[in-house]
Structure 1
């Protein structure tokens, strides 16, 4: 794990622009941690990330994979009394209107909107209890191709995928016909609702979660999936650093493992299939 020199000088801030993210699309994932240095050490070692400071403040860091932003980590779990958890944030043009739509649909705005140097954020829980965030503001330069590089997959495990798609579609203005938002479709072969912007899949929604399940992984929740080259090696490294292995398996995206970091944050690693060589 490498800590880069702080880059949130005035000159750097001037170079930050709003990333070209479709309205309602996930624009980043963030870990609410208790100890920033400990989280950086763990994820830097396990996933090979580097870190730099950010305009969100000294208690936040941007994680970089091969020099590109992939996630943020904030040491906020203790102060804000929120769980240690990975959370996807979705881009909205007007956060006050978005939080109003959340409440109108009988869901909960748990925190915010909170103002930062570059925008405003809020944490919410949908009607089944899955936690997500909304963001209104600038994103760091380099985030524009986040989806095209495929650094993260976000999946909603929920009680009823169709009902959830209607809820999020209303809150995030998916498929409202003006061409600036996300499109939603059902793929029967995978039994999932798929959210796209352009030609890229940006989120997937599955049915089958149980609200009252004793296992938190079986309850409705958003999960984040990070690609790695070698799942067994990554699992072993995480285990030596105090992580818990929750489950392993093989899926459409290749081998995968569900892990829980030493602080309680759950995440998934998977090994995507190698790209096919170009035709000669």
Structure 2
């Protein structure tokens, strides 16, 4: 969600090499393309609905009304929706710890799933209690249910991993936010995008008016770096070979 769609396209085009096309949802929406394939969505709706500029993680559901009810029953908040968008319905919500996320009922674009093709490498929830968060999301999305096609969930060392189709698609980490003295830091979902060269992406971000939150690091020089776009939205770039 951005306040200036054109400026966001210019920034992410320069940093991540994306191209863009109009989305079928209507004016103010665009689809980001990497190697000609959908990788993310951008919209200038942040200004219209008074929400902060940010990247939002969306999960596919079969029934938005049912999942909305589960969110409320388990202490979360439904902020927007279910709202008709194009041929589907979308909901913006927050979990009990305050992390914002969305879910989508409708047709999904082939190969636009996390960890597939040109799509984001994975999602990460940074929260206080990873186990409690896993219980919440597992119950509203039917994770770890003994039915075909459901996600597998594993808990180890204050970290929960979510696997689908044999590969990790999300990670829920606990503990770090609670220890941080900065009151502005709150639980949130974070997105990782693949790039060929992390150092080059960092240079491009700085040249395009962005900022570096965490310098390149991790196993192997330049494996990942956390950046902030000119409007304040944070994201991480990670090398394709490390995913």
With the length of structure 2 as denominator, give the TM-score of the two structures: 0.92
Q: For each residue in 1:78-112, what CA deviation from the matched residue of structure 2 results, as whole angstroms up to 9, or x when unmatched?
A: 10111100011001100000000000011111111
Q: Which of residues 86, 104, 126 is equivalent to 2:95?
A: 126
On the 8 A contact 1:53/1:62 being kept in 2, the answer is yes
Q: Equivalent residue for 1:29?
A: none
Query: Which of 159, 169, 185 is matched with 2:154 structurally?
Result: 185
Matches within 5 A, 1:191-202: 191-202=158-169
Query: Of residues 200, 221, 233 in structure 2, which corresponds to 1:265?
Result: 233
| Count of residues in correspondence between the two structures | 240
Partner of 1:149: 117
Equivalent residues of 2:57, 2:189 under 8 A apart: yes
Say whether 1:203 aligns with 2:181: no
Comparing 53-62 with 243-252, which one deviates more in the overlay?
Answer: 243-252
2:219 is equivalent to residue 256 of structure 1:
no
- Choose the corresponding residue for 1:225, options 167, 189, 192: 192
- After TM superposition, give the deviation of residue 120 of structure 1 in Å: 0.3
45, 56, 59: which is aligned to 2:14? 45
**1: distance between equivalents of 2:181 and 2:102?**
23
Q: Secondary structure at the match of 1:149?
A: coil
- Paired residues of 1:225 and 1:270 also in contact (CA < 8 A): yes
Consecutive unaligned residues of structure 1, counting only runs of 5 or more, are: 1-31, 276-280
RMSD between aligned residues: 2.0
Alignment deviations for residues 242-263 of structure 1 (CA, whole Å, 9 cap, x no partner): 1011112422586211111011
Runs of 5+ unmatched residues, structure 2: none
Q: Secondary structure at 1:247's aligned position in 2? A: strand
- Corresponding residue SS for 1:43: helix
TM-score (norm: length of structure 1): 0.80
Report the Cα distance in structure 2 between the residues aligned to 1:185 and 1:118, rounded to whole angstroms.
34
Change (3 A) 1:151 1:187: farther
Distance 2:31 2:227 in 1: 21
1:147 Cα deviation from its structure 2 partner: 3.1
What's the counterpart of residue 212 of structure 2? 245
2:75 paired residue number: 106
Match of 1:87 in 2: 56
Find the counterpart in structure 2 of residue 165 from structure 1: 134
